[in-house]
Structure 1
Amino acid sequence: MLDTVREVHTPEGVALRLPAAGPLPRALAWAIDLGIRLGILTACSTVLSLLGKAGLGIYLVLLFVLVWGYPILCEGLFNGQTPGKRALDLRVVSSDGAPVGWLAAVVRNLLRTVDMLPFGYGAGLVCGLLDPWGRRLGDLVAGTLVVHVQAQVPLPEAGAGEALPTALPLRPQEQVAVVAFAERAPRLTPARQQELADIVAPVTGAAGADGVRRLFGVARWLLGGH
Protein backbone atom coordinates (compact mmCIF):
# COMPACT_ATOMS: atom_id res chain seq x y z
CA MET A 1 0.00 0.00 0.00
CA LEU A 2 1.35 3.39 -0.97
CA ASP A 3 1.35 6.33 1.41
CA THR A 4 -1.54 8.71 0.75
CA VAL A 5 -2.55 12.21 1.78
CA ARG A 6 -5.56 12.94 3.95
CA GLU A 7 -6.95 16.46 3.59
CA VAL A 8 -8.86 17.97 6.50
CA HIS A 9 -10.29 21.45 6.90
CA THR A 10 -9.94 23.51 10.06
CA PRO A 11 -12.82 25.64 11.41
CA GLU A 12 -10.98 28.65 9.94
CA GLY A 13 -11.31 27.12 6.47
CA VAL A 14 -7.62 26.21 6.09
CA ALA A 15 -6.96 22.90 4.33
CA LEU A 16 -4.39 20.68 6.06
CA ARG A 17 -2.68 17.94 4.09
CA LEU A 18 -1.71 15.01 6.31
CA PRO A 19 0.67 12.56 4.58
CA ALA A 20 -0.55 9.26 6.05
CA ALA A 21 2.08 6.57 6.62
CA GLY A 22 1.61 3.11 5.13
CA PRO A 23 2.22 -0.25 6.82
CA LEU A 24 5.91 -0.56 5.83
CA PRO A 25 7.33 2.55 7.61
CA ARG A 26 5.07 1.85 10.58
CA ALA A 27 6.37 -1.72 10.79
CA LEU A 28 9.97 -0.50 10.65
CA ALA A 29 9.30 2.00 13.43
CA TRP A 30 7.69 -0.74 15.52
CA ALA A 31 10.74 -2.98 14.94
CA ILE A 32 13.07 -0.24 16.18
CA ASP A 33 10.96 0.25 19.31
CA LEU A 34 10.89 -3.52 19.85
CA GLY A 35 14.69 -3.63 19.68
CA ILE A 36 14.94 -0.80 22.22
CA ARG A 37 12.56 -2.53 24.63
CA LEU A 38 14.34 -5.86 24.29
CA GLY A 39 17.67 -4.16 24.90
CA ILE A 40 16.40 -2.52 28.09
CA LEU A 41 14.82 -5.76 29.27
CA THR A 42 17.96 -7.79 28.59
CA ALA A 43 20.22 -5.31 30.37
CA CYS A 44 17.98 -5.14 33.43
CA SER A 45 17.37 -8.90 33.63
CA THR A 46 21.07 -9.53 34.20
CA VAL A 47 21.01 -7.38 37.33
CA LEU A 48 17.56 -8.48 38.51
CA SER A 49 18.53 -12.14 38.31
CA LEU A 50 20.83 -11.53 41.27
CA LEU A 51 17.90 -10.48 43.50
CA GLY A 52 16.05 -13.78 43.53
CA LYS A 53 12.25 -13.65 43.87
CA ALA A 54 12.29 -9.90 44.42
CA GLY A 55 14.15 -9.51 41.17
CA LEU A 56 11.58 -11.68 39.40
CA GLY A 57 8.77 -9.46 40.66
CA ILE A 58 10.56 -6.31 39.49
CA TYR A 59 11.25 -7.99 36.15
CA LEU A 60 7.54 -8.71 35.60
CA VAL A 61 6.62 -5.12 36.46
CA LEU A 62 9.30 -3.85 34.07
CA LEU A 63 8.03 -6.19 31.36
CA PHE A 64 4.51 -4.83 31.76
CA VAL A 65 5.72 -1.22 31.61
CA LEU A 66 7.81 -1.83 28.49
CA VAL A 67 5.03 -3.68 26.66
CA TRP A 68 2.14 -1.37 27.52
CA GLY A 69 3.49 1.79 29.11
CA TYR A 70 6.36 2.46 26.71
CA PRO A 71 4.27 3.47 23.64
CA ILE A 72 1.64 5.30 25.70
CA LEU A 73 4.18 7.37 27.63
CA CYS A 74 6.28 8.14 24.55
CA GLU A 75 3.31 9.23 22.45
CA GLY A 76 1.79 11.24 25.29
CA LEU A 77 5.00 12.97 26.37
CA PHE A 78 6.80 13.43 23.05
CA ASN A 79 4.08 14.76 20.75
CA GLY A 80 3.00 11.43 19.31
CA GLN A 81 6.46 9.98 18.71
CA THR A 82 8.23 6.94 20.08
CA PRO A 83 11.97 6.63 19.38
CA GLY A 84 11.15 4.33 16.47
CA LYS A 85 8.69 6.79 14.97
CA ARG A 86 11.14 9.63 15.46
CA ALA A 87 13.83 7.68 13.61
CA LEU A 88 11.43 7.13 10.68
CA ASP A 89 10.03 10.70 10.84
CA LEU A 90 6.55 9.51 11.83
CA ARG A 91 4.08 10.95 14.31
CA VAL A 92 0.68 10.03 15.72
CA VAL A 93 -1.87 12.83 15.39
CA SER A 94 -5.61 13.12 15.81
CA SER A 95 -7.64 12.50 12.66
CA ASP A 96 -8.19 16.27 12.33
CA GLY A 97 -4.45 16.99 12.47
CA ALA A 98 -4.38 18.12 16.12
CA PRO A 99 -1.76 16.73 18.54
CA VAL A 100 -2.66 13.35 19.98
CA GLY A 101 -4.05 13.40 23.53
CA TRP A 102 -3.43 11.05 26.42
CA LEU A 103 -6.80 9.30 26.10
CA ALA A 104 -6.27 8.62 22.40
CA ALA A 105 -2.73 7.34 23.07
CA VAL A 106 -4.07 4.94 25.72
CA VAL A 107 -6.94 3.67 23.56
CA ARG A 108 -4.91 3.10 20.38
CA ASN A 109 -2.21 1.19 22.25
CA LEU A 110 -4.51 -0.93 24.42
CA LEU A 111 -6.33 -2.03 21.28
CA ARG A 112 -3.12 -3.57 20.01
CA THR A 113 -4.44 -6.71 21.73
CA VAL A 114 -7.09 -6.84 18.99
CA ASP A 115 -4.80 -5.73 16.16
CA MET A 116 -2.34 -8.52 17.02
CA LEU A 117 -4.98 -11.24 16.42
CA PRO A 118 -4.77 -13.95 15.28
CA PHE A 119 -0.98 -13.52 15.20
CA GLY A 120 1.68 -11.15 13.86
CA TYR A 121 -0.62 -8.11 13.82
CA GLY A 122 -2.79 -9.88 11.24
CA ALA A 123 -5.99 -7.97 12.04
CA GLY A 124 -4.16 -4.64 12.15
CA LEU A 125 -2.42 -5.32 8.81
CA VAL A 126 -5.64 -6.27 7.05
CA CYS A 127 -7.41 -3.20 8.46
CA GLY A 128 -4.50 -0.96 7.42
CA LEU A 129 -4.55 -2.33 3.87
CA LEU A 130 -8.29 -1.78 3.56
CA ASP A 131 -8.34 1.70 5.09
CA PRO A 132 -7.45 4.50 2.63
CA TRP A 133 -5.11 6.08 5.20
CA GLY A 134 -3.51 2.94 6.59
CA ARG A 135 -5.22 3.07 9.98
CA ARG A 136 -5.38 -0.07 12.10
CA LEU A 137 -8.32 -0.85 14.39
CA GLY A 138 -6.73 1.03 17.30
CA ASP A 139 -6.45 4.16 15.18
CA LEU A 140 -10.04 3.92 13.98
CA VAL A 141 -11.40 3.64 17.52
CA ALA A 142 -9.08 6.29 18.99
CA GLY A 143 -9.56 8.70 16.07
CA THR A 144 -5.84 8.88 15.30
CA LEU A 145 -3.61 8.78 12.26
CA VAL A 146 0.10 8.07 11.78
CA VAL A 147 1.66 10.63 9.44
CA HIS A 148 5.04 11.49 8.01
CA VAL A 149 6.62 14.45 9.76
CA GLN A 150 7.09 17.29 7.30
CA ALA A 151 10.31 19.22 7.70
CA GLN A 152 9.76 22.85 8.62
CA VAL A 153 11.61 25.05 6.18
CA PRO A 154 12.44 28.48 7.66
CA LEU A 155 11.45 31.47 5.61
CA PRO A 156 14.44 32.93 3.75
CA GLU A 157 15.66 36.31 4.81
CA ALA A 158 14.46 39.00 2.47
CA GLY A 159 15.50 42.61 2.88
CA ALA A 160 15.15 43.65 6.51
CA GLY A 161 12.81 40.72 7.15
CA GLU A 162 9.84 42.97 7.77
CA ALA A 163 6.26 41.69 7.82
CA LEU A 164 4.09 43.41 5.22
CA PRO A 165 0.28 43.48 5.30
CA THR A 166 -1.56 42.69 2.08
CA ALA A 167 -2.98 45.42 -0.12
CA LEU A 168 -6.12 43.32 -0.64
CA PRO A 169 -7.92 40.89 1.71
CA LEU A 170 -7.03 37.25 1.09
CA ARG A 171 -9.26 34.23 1.28
CA PRO A 172 -8.04 31.30 3.46
CA GLN A 173 -6.86 29.24 0.49
CA GLU A 174 -4.95 32.26 -0.85
CA GLN A 175 -3.25 32.72 2.51
CA VAL A 176 -2.19 29.06 2.47
CA ALA A 177 -0.79 29.51 -1.06
CA VAL A 178 1.31 32.53 -0.01
CA VAL A 179 2.80 30.70 2.99
CA ALA A 180 3.44 27.62 0.83
CA PHE A 181 5.32 29.78 -1.69
CA ALA A 182 7.58 31.16 1.05
CA GLU A 183 8.31 27.66 2.36
CA ARG A 184 9.15 26.24 -1.06
CA ALA A 185 10.94 29.24 -2.53
CA PRO A 186 14.45 28.07 -1.44
CA ARG A 187 14.04 25.11 -3.81
CA LEU A 188 13.09 27.33 -6.76
CA THR A 189 15.33 29.30 -9.11
CA PRO A 190 15.19 33.11 -8.80
CA ALA A 191 13.51 33.29 -12.21
CA ARG A 192 10.78 30.88 -11.10
CA GLN A 193 10.30 32.81 -7.85
CA GLN A 194 9.79 36.03 -9.78
CA GLU A 195 7.44 34.32 -12.24
CA LEU A 196 5.19 33.17 -9.39
CA ALA A 197 5.43 36.47 -7.55
CA ASP A 198 4.35 38.33 -10.67
CA ILE A 199 1.07 36.39 -10.68
CA VAL A 200 0.09 37.98 -7.35
CA ALA A 201 1.45 41.45 -8.13
CA PRO A 202 -1.98 43.01 -7.35
CA VAL A 203 -1.61 41.66 -3.80
CA THR A 204 1.98 42.75 -3.21
CA GLY A 205 1.94 45.89 -5.35
CA ALA A 206 5.31 44.98 -6.90
CA ALA A 207 6.84 42.70 -9.52
CA GLY A 208 10.16 41.05 -10.20
CA ALA A 209 12.68 40.70 -7.39
CA ASP A 210 10.89 43.34 -5.33
CA GLY A 211 7.66 41.34 -5.72
CA VAL A 212 9.40 38.25 -4.34
CA ARG A 213 10.70 40.25 -1.37
CA ARG A 214 7.27 41.68 -0.65
CA LEU A 215 5.65 38.25 -0.98
CA PHE A 216 8.01 36.95 1.71
CA GLY A 217 6.95 39.90 3.85
CA VAL A 218 3.27 39.05 3.34
CA ALA A 219 3.98 35.45 4.38
CA ARG A 220 5.66 36.68 7.57
CA TRP A 221 2.69 38.93 8.26
CA LEU A 222 0.26 36.02 7.80
CA LEU A 223 2.34 33.94 10.21
CA GLY A 224 2.20 36.66 12.84
CA GLY A 225 5.62 38.19 12.21
CA HIS A 226 6.46 41.80 13.02
Structure 2
Amino acid sequence: MAAALDNIFGYQTPEGIELRHAVSGPLARGLAWLVDLAIKLTAYLIIGFVLAWAGGVGVGLILIFIFLVEWFYPVFFEKIKGATPGKKIFGLLVIHDDGTPLSWNSAVIRNLLRTIDFLPLFNITGLITMLCNNRFKRLGDFAAGTVVVYGNQATRRPKIADASPQPPPQPLTLEEQRCILDFCERTDRLSLDRRHELARLVPSLANSSEPERKLLAYGNWLMHGGKRA
Protein backbone atom coordinates (compact mmCIF):
# COMPACT_ATOMS: atom_id res chain seq x y z
CA MET A 1 0.00 0.00 0.00
CA ALA A 2 2.83 2.38 0.85
CA ALA A 3 4.43 1.82 -2.55
CA ALA A 4 1.14 2.63 -4.26
CA LEU A 5 0.97 5.97 -2.47
CA ASP A 6 4.58 6.94 -3.16
CA ASN A 7 4.54 9.72 -5.76
CA ILE A 8 8.27 10.39 -5.76
CA PHE A 9 9.92 9.57 -9.08
CA GLY A 10 13.63 8.77 -8.86
CA TYR A 11 16.26 7.91 -11.45
CA GLN A 12 20.03 7.85 -11.83
CA THR A 13 22.10 9.99 -14.18
CA PRO A 14 25.00 8.42 -16.14
CA GLU A 15 27.31 9.92 -13.49
CA GLY A 16 25.64 7.78 -10.82
CA ILE A 17 23.77 10.69 -9.22
CA GLU A 18 20.24 9.98 -8.06
CA LEU A 19 17.68 12.68 -8.87
CA ARG A 20 14.18 12.73 -7.47
CA HIS A 21 11.06 14.53 -8.66
CA ALA A 22 7.58 14.79 -7.21
CA VAL A 23 5.12 13.33 -9.71
CA SER A 24 2.38 15.70 -10.87
CA GLY A 25 -1.17 14.70 -9.97
CA PRO A 26 -4.45 15.23 -11.85
CA LEU A 27 -5.20 18.64 -10.30
CA ALA A 28 -2.04 20.42 -11.47
CA ARG A 29 -2.24 18.78 -14.88
CA GLY A 30 -5.90 19.70 -15.18
CA LEU A 31 -5.18 23.34 -14.37
CA ALA A 32 -2.31 23.33 -16.87
CA TRP A 33 -4.68 21.92 -19.49
CA LEU A 34 -7.14 24.74 -18.84
CA VAL A 35 -4.38 27.34 -19.30
CA ASP A 36 -3.33 25.72 -22.58
CA LEU A 37 -6.97 25.61 -23.67
CA ALA A 38 -7.35 29.34 -22.95
CA ILE A 39 -4.20 30.09 -24.98
CA LYS A 40 -5.46 28.06 -27.94
CA LEU A 41 -8.95 29.57 -27.83
CA THR A 42 -7.43 33.05 -27.81
CA ALA A 43 -5.35 32.16 -30.86
CA TYR A 44 -8.43 30.77 -32.63
CA LEU A 45 -10.40 33.95 -31.97
CA ILE A 46 -7.60 36.17 -33.26
CA ILE A 47 -7.08 34.11 -36.43
CA GLY A 48 -10.83 33.85 -36.93
CA PHE A 49 -11.20 37.62 -36.71
CA VAL A 50 -8.30 38.21 -39.12
CA LEU A 51 -9.55 35.71 -41.73
CA ALA A 52 -13.27 36.41 -41.39
CA TRP A 53 -13.20 38.64 -44.47
CA ALA A 54 -11.90 35.84 -46.72
CA GLY A 55 -15.20 33.94 -46.89
CA GLY A 56 -14.99 30.23 -47.68
CA VAL A 57 -11.22 30.36 -48.13
CA GLY A 58 -10.88 31.98 -44.72
CA VAL A 59 -12.99 29.26 -43.10
CA GLY A 60 -10.78 26.62 -44.69
CA LEU A 61 -7.62 28.33 -43.44
CA ILE A 62 -9.10 28.62 -39.95
CA LEU A 63 -9.90 24.89 -39.88
CA ILE A 64 -6.37 24.04 -41.03
CA PHE A 65 -4.95 26.32 -38.33
CA ILE A 66 -7.10 24.68 -35.65
CA PHE A 67 -6.03 21.21 -36.81
CA LEU A 68 -2.34 22.11 -36.71
CA VAL A 69 -2.57 23.73 -33.28
CA GLU A 70 -4.58 20.89 -31.73
CA TRP A 71 -2.10 18.25 -32.85
CA PHE A 72 1.23 20.02 -32.86
CA TYR A 73 0.95 22.60 -30.04
CA PRO A 74 1.66 20.03 -27.28
CA VAL A 75 4.12 18.03 -29.40
CA PHE A 76 6.25 21.08 -30.25
CA PHE A 77 6.36 22.61 -26.78
CA GLU A 78 6.88 19.33 -24.91
CA LYS A 79 9.76 18.34 -27.19
CA ILE A 80 11.47 21.75 -27.40
CA LYS A 81 10.71 23.13 -23.91
CA GLY A 82 9.83 19.98 -21.97
CA ALA A 83 6.34 21.34 -21.26
CA THR A 84 3.49 23.30 -22.79
CA PRO A 85 3.04 26.92 -21.59
CA GLY A 86 0.31 25.72 -19.23
CA LYS A 87 2.58 23.10 -17.70
CA LYS A 88 5.42 25.64 -17.44
CA ILE A 89 3.23 27.95 -15.36
CA PHE A 90 2.68 25.17 -12.82
CA GLY A 91 6.31 24.02 -12.87
CA LEU A 92 5.59 20.74 -14.64
CA LEU A 93 7.95 18.83 -16.92
CA VAL A 94 7.44 15.86 -19.25
CA ILE A 95 10.34 13.40 -19.27
CA HIS A 96 11.02 9.77 -20.15
CA ASP A 97 10.78 7.09 -17.48
CA ASP A 98 14.59 7.04 -17.31
CA GLY A 99 14.75 10.80 -16.69
CA THR A 100 15.95 11.76 -20.18
CA PRO A 101 14.37 14.66 -22.13
CA LEU A 102 11.38 13.90 -24.31
CA SER A 103 12.10 12.69 -27.87
CA TRP A 104 10.05 13.57 -30.94
CA ASN A 105 8.68 10.02 -31.13
CA SER A 106 7.53 10.03 -27.52
CA ALA A 107 6.05 13.52 -27.83
CA VAL A 108 4.02 12.43 -30.86
CA ILE A 109 2.88 9.12 -29.32
CA ARG A 110 1.75 10.55 -25.97
CA ASN A 111 -0.25 13.28 -27.70
CA LEU A 112 -1.78 11.06 -30.40
CA LEU A 113 -3.43 9.08 -27.62
CA ARG A 114 -4.97 12.22 -26.10
CA THR A 115 -8.03 11.45 -28.25
CA ILE A 116 -8.59 8.16 -26.41
CA ASP A 117 -7.84 9.75 -23.03
CA PHE A 118 -10.45 12.42 -23.76
CA LEU A 119 -13.25 9.89 -24.30
CA PRO A 120 -16.12 9.81 -23.57
CA LEU A 121 -15.94 13.45 -22.44
CA PHE A 122 -13.55 15.85 -20.70
CA ASN A 123 -10.66 13.39 -20.31
CA ILE A 124 -12.66 10.93 -18.21
CA THR A 125 -10.67 7.94 -19.50
CA GLY A 126 -7.39 9.74 -18.89
CA LEU A 127 -8.44 10.73 -15.36
CA ILE A 128 -9.48 7.20 -14.42
CA THR A 129 -6.21 5.81 -15.79
CA MET A 130 -4.18 8.39 -13.85
CA LEU A 131 -5.92 7.52 -10.59
CA CYS A 132 -5.17 3.81 -11.06
CA ASN A 133 -1.37 4.10 -10.90
CA ASN A 134 1.09 5.79 -8.54
CA ARG A 135 2.81 7.78 -11.31
CA PHE A 136 -0.49 9.37 -12.43
CA LYS A 137 0.13 8.23 -15.99
CA ARG A 138 -2.54 8.44 -18.65
CA LEU A 139 -2.65 6.02 -21.59
CA GLY A 140 -0.43 8.27 -23.68
CA ASP A 141 2.24 8.23 -20.96
CA PHE A 142 2.21 4.44 -20.79
CA ALA A 143 2.52 4.13 -24.57
CA ALA A 144 5.32 6.70 -24.82
CA GLY A 145 7.18 5.73 -21.64
CA THR A 146 6.83 9.20 -20.14
CA VAL A 147 5.92 10.76 -16.81
CA VAL A 148 4.91 14.29 -15.80
CA VAL A 149 6.83 15.65 -12.82
CA TYR A 150 7.47 18.90 -11.00
CA GLY A 151 10.57 20.02 -12.86
CA ASN A 152 11.81 22.49 -10.26
CA GLN A 153 12.00 19.98 -7.41
CA ALA A 154 14.86 17.78 -8.58
CA THR A 155 17.64 17.20 -6.13
CA ARG A 156 20.49 19.50 -7.03
CA ARG A 157 23.81 18.03 -7.97
CA PRO A 158 26.42 18.46 -5.30
CA LYS A 159 28.80 21.37 -5.43
CA ILE A 160 32.33 19.99 -5.34
CA ALA A 161 35.41 21.89 -4.21
CA ASP A 162 37.80 23.00 -6.94
CA ALA A 163 39.96 20.09 -8.09
CA SER A 164 41.09 19.14 -11.58
CA PRO A 165 38.97 16.22 -12.83
CA GLN A 166 40.87 12.95 -12.81
CA PRO A 167 39.54 9.50 -13.72
CA PRO A 168 39.77 6.82 -11.02
CA PRO A 169 42.37 4.08 -11.60
CA GLN A 170 39.68 1.46 -12.15
CA PRO A 171 35.98 1.36 -13.18
CA LEU A 172 33.52 2.21 -10.41
CA THR A 173 30.15 0.72 -9.64
CA LEU A 174 27.18 3.07 -9.26
CA GLU A 175 27.32 2.56 -5.49
CA GLU A 176 31.00 3.56 -5.43
CA GLN A 177 30.27 6.60 -7.58
CA ARG A 178 27.52 7.69 -5.18
CA CYS A 179 29.83 7.26 -2.18
CA ILE A 180 32.49 9.46 -3.79
CA LEU A 181 29.97 12.16 -4.70
CA ASP A 182 28.45 12.04 -1.20
CA PHE A 183 31.92 12.52 0.29
CA CYS A 184 32.62 15.46 -2.04
CA GLU A 185 29.32 17.10 -1.14
CA ARG A 186 30.06 16.89 2.60
CA THR A 187 33.70 18.00 2.64
CA ASP A 188 32.88 21.50 3.86
CA ARG A 189 31.11 20.01 6.91
CA LEU A 190 33.95 17.69 7.93
CA SER A 191 37.20 18.43 9.73
CA LEU A 192 40.46 18.03 7.83
CA ASP A 193 41.44 14.96 9.87
CA ARG A 194 38.06 13.35 9.32
CA ARG A 195 38.23 14.02 5.55
CA HIS A 196 41.67 12.39 5.36
CA GLU A 197 40.47 9.45 7.45
CA LEU A 198 37.48 8.81 5.18
CA ALA A 199 39.48 9.29 1.98
CA ARG A 200 42.08 6.74 3.11
CA LEU A 201 39.34 4.11 3.34
CA VAL A 202 39.61 3.89 -0.45
CA PRO A 203 42.20 1.12 -1.01
CA SER A 204 43.98 2.90 -3.87
CA LEU A 205 44.38 6.04 -1.70
CA ALA A 206 45.54 4.37 1.51
CA ASN A 207 49.17 5.39 0.94
CA SER A 208 48.50 8.63 -0.92
CA SER A 209 49.87 11.89 0.51
CA GLU A 210 46.75 13.75 -0.69
CA PRO A 211 43.87 11.26 -0.43
CA GLU A 212 41.21 13.95 -0.07
CA ARG A 213 42.43 15.86 -3.13
CA LYS A 214 42.44 12.67 -5.17
CA LEU A 215 38.88 11.84 -4.15
CA LEU A 216 37.70 15.36 -5.03
CA ALA A 217 39.36 14.97 -8.43
CA TYR A 218 37.48 11.71 -8.96
CA GLY A 219 34.25 13.42 -7.94
CA ASN A 220 34.75 16.26 -10.40
CA TRP A 221 35.54 13.74 -13.12
CA LEU A 222 32.22 12.03 -12.42
CA MET A 223 30.38 15.36 -12.38
CA HIS A 224 31.81 16.17 -15.82
CA GLY A 225 30.32 12.97 -17.17
CA GLY A 226 33.60 11.10 -17.14
CA LYS A 227 35.55 13.79 -18.99
CA ARG A 228 38.45 16.04 -18.20
CA ALA A 229 37.60 19.73 -17.84
TM-score range normalised by the length of the shorter chain: 0.7 to 0.9
TM-score when normalising by structure 1: 0.74
CA RMSD, Structure 1 to Structure 2 (Å): 3.7
The residue aligned with 1:126 is 128
Q: Are the counterparts in 2 of residues 15 and 173 from structure 1 also a CA contact under 8 Å?
A: no
Unaligned runs of 5+ in 1: none
Report sequence identity in percent: 35
Q: Are the counterparts in 2 of residues 193 and 212 from structure 1 also a CA contact under 8 Å?
A: no
The residue aligned with 1:139 is 141
User: How has the CA–CA distance of structure 1 residues 151 and 17 changed in structure 2, closer, same or farther, with 3 Å as cutoff?
Assistant: closer
User: How has the CA–CA distance of structure 1 residues 171 and 49 changed in structure 2, closer, same or farther, with 3 Å as cutoff?
Assistant: same
Partners of 1:46 and 1:194 lie apart in 2 by 71
The residue aligned with 1:39 is 42
Partners of 1:97 and 1:8 lie apart in 2 by 6
Q: Which moved more, 1:114-123 or 1:20-29?
A: 20-29
User: How has the CA–CA distance of structure 1 residues 132 and 99 changed in structure 2, closer, same or farther, with 3 Å as cutoff?
Assistant: same
Task: Output the amino acid matched with 1:112.
Answer: R
User: How has the CA–CA distance of structure 1 residues 199 and 140 changed in structure 2, closer, same or farther, with 3 Å as cutoff?
Assistant: farther
Task: Output the amino acid matched with 1:200.
Answer: L
Residue 47 of structure 1 deviates from its aligned partner by 0.8
Q: Which of 110, 113, 116 is the matching residue for 2:115? A: 113
Task: Output the amino acid matched with 1:101.
Answer: S
Deviation track 1:33-74 (CA, whole Å, cap 9, x = no partner) reads 222212222222221112222211111111111211111122
Q: Are the counterparts in 2 of residues 18 and 147 from structure 1 also a CA contact under 8 Å?
A: no
Q: Are the counterparts in 2 of residues 72 and 106 from structure 1 also a CA contact under 8 Å?
A: yes
Alignment of 1:9-20 (within 5 A): 14=16, 16-19=18-21, 20=23
Partners of 1:195 and 1:24 lie apart in 2 by 51
Q: Are the counterparts in 2 of residues 14 and 172 from structure 1 also a CA contact under 8 Å?
A: yes
Q: Are the counterparts in 2 of residues 5 and 17 from structure 1 also a CA contact under 8 Å?
A: no
The residue aligned with 1:102 is 104
The residue aligned with 2:65 is 62
Unaligned runs of 5+ in 2: none
Partners of 1:127 and 1:107 lie apart in 2 by 17
Q: Find the residue that maps to 1:126 and give its secondary structure.
A: helix
Task: Output the amino acid matched with 1:70.
Answer: Y
Partners of 2:101 and 2:130 lie apart in 1 by 21
Residue 144 of structure 1 deviates from its aligned partner by 1.6
Q: Find the residue that maps to 2:52 and give its secondary structure.
A: helix
Q: Which of 85, 88, 92 is the matching residue for 2:87? A: 85
User: How has the CA–CA distance of structure 1 residues 132 and 157 changed in structure 2, closer, same or farther, with 3 Å as cutoff?
Assistant: closer
- Counting matched residue pairs gives 216
User: How has the CA–CA distance of structure 1 residues 217 and 152 changed in structure 2, closer, same or farther, with 3 Å as cutoff?
Assistant: farther
The residue aligned with 1:5 is 8
TM-score when normalising by structure 2: 0.74
The residue aligned with 1:48 is 51
Task: Output the amino acid matched with 1:162.
Answer: S
Q: Which moved more, 1:190-199 or 1:66-75?
A: 190-199
Q: Are the counterparts in 1 of residues 199 and 205 from structure 2 also a CA contact under 8 Å?
A: yes
Residue 15 of structure 1 deviates from its aligned partner by 7.3
Partners of 1:199 and 1:127 lie apart in 2 by 52
Partners of 1:88 and 1:138 lie apart in 2 by 20
Q: Which of 198, 201, 218 is the matching residue for 1:200? A: 198
